[in-house]
Chains A and B, each alone.
Chain A
Amino acid sequence: MAGTFNPGAIAKSIVNYYSSGGVQYAGSAGIAALAKLILSGALTAGAYSAALVSVSGPGVLNLAYAYANDATSRTMGLKVVLDGTTVFDAVSDACTTQYNGVIAVGYNESNAILAYQPLVFNSTMALYVKSSLSETDKITLAYAYETR
């Protein structure tokens, strides 16, 4: 179809260390050179935010992770929706370390570099975060995508 990026099958699920409650170093801005960072804004305990980032149109999601901005104990959730399918929806174990969190898309290398894990989407992409606490800007969402 003209104008549609269609290199192959679209991801239907992402399974990795973080998809079943794992939590560990997910990045500080040492990897910000690869990712765009935004704070979560206001979150209500246990509820996903409205999409912090969304794209309408074809593209590739290369990175998506979330981390805590302080050491307050909390769990964090990260949800990735591609073409209307929730491909990643995981809540971390209790996190008590700044910069620890959840990586949905990408690979952590040497705690300093995050490698791209390109996931294509044909029509839409959206990213959501949540916290076990009602709080504002205590979680950073990091991501990298390209439109095609």
Chain B
Amino acid sequence: METYEVTENGQVYTVTEGAFGHITKELKMSDEQKAILAAQAAQAAQVSDPLAEIKTRLDKIDADLAVIKLNTKK
């Protein structure tokens, strides 16, 4: 597999020639662009936690149980 870069119209592409004859060409991301994408990933990981709703409900149940226990002791 061979990988190299080409510049076309001011944009840099990464070209990979695979062992099975495939040639792929993708716009190369700079370190700054990678940082933008990484920030998106971090943000999305926070907002898309599939357990977030369940965690919130468990917290509320815990709080309710604490109140019930407190009232029971009285």
Contacts and interface: CB of A to CB of B under 8 A. Distances in A.
A37 B37 contact: yes
Contact of B21 (A28, A31, A57): A57
Contacts of A42: 10-11
Contacts, number: 83
Interface of A: 3, 28-32, 37-39, 41-42, 50-59, 69, 99, 110-112, 137, 140, 147
Interface of B: 8-11, 18, 20-27, 29, 33, 36-37, 40-45, 47-48, 50
26 contacts: A3-B20, A3-B21, A28-B40, A28-B43, A28-B44, A29-B37, A29-B41, A29-B42, A31-B44, A37-B40, A38-B29, A38-B33, A39-B36, A39-B37, A42-B10, A42-B11, A50-B8, A52-B26, A53-B25, A57-B21, A57-B22, A59-B22, A110-B50, A137-B33, A137-B36, A140-B40
Given A29-B44, A30-B45, A37-B37, 17 more contacts: A28-B44, A28-B47, A31-B48, A37-B41, A39-B27, A39-B29, A41-B11, A50-B9, A52-B27, A53-B25, A54-B24, A54-B26, A56-B23, A58-B22, A69-B40, A137-B36, A147-B18
